[in-house]
Amino acid sequence: MIIDSILRYTNRKNIKLIFITMPAHKSYVKHLDKYQISKTINIADSISKTNKNVAYYNFLIDTSFHTEDFFDSDHLNEKGAEKLTFKINQLLH
């Protein structure tokens, strides 16, 4: 699998790999395939727990993002992007 190759490479080069599930508007999240999104989140979470150089942050339903933070239901606008950038920066430092 490609992800295994990426994990080996980043581990060998001592690179921290970060997985992020981006925030989405609640109307978008409501229509996601529950099985598929659950599988995606579980895989990212599992990879982060079994690889010391991997972190996973799930912002999909982060309640600090509001309608005014979105350009459309699954893309942040400038305000939302600044908010997410600040959150990620806080996690990395």
Tell me: the pLDDT tens digits for 2-44? Answer: 999 999 999 999 999 999 999 999 999 999 999 999 999 999 9
Q: Rounded to whole angstroms, how far apart are CA atoms 44 and 17?
A: 11
Structure-token pair, residue 13: 């080069």
54 close to 48: Cβ distance less than 8 angstroms: yes
Delimit the domains of the chain by residue range: 19-92
Q: Give kind and range of the element (H or E) at residue 60.
A: none
- For residue 19, give every residue at least 6 positions away whose Cβ sits within 8 Å of its Cβ, in sequence order, or none: 44, 47, 48, 54, 55, 56, 57
Residues 50-90 have pLDDT tens digits of 999 999 999 999 999 999 999 999 999 999 999 999 999 99
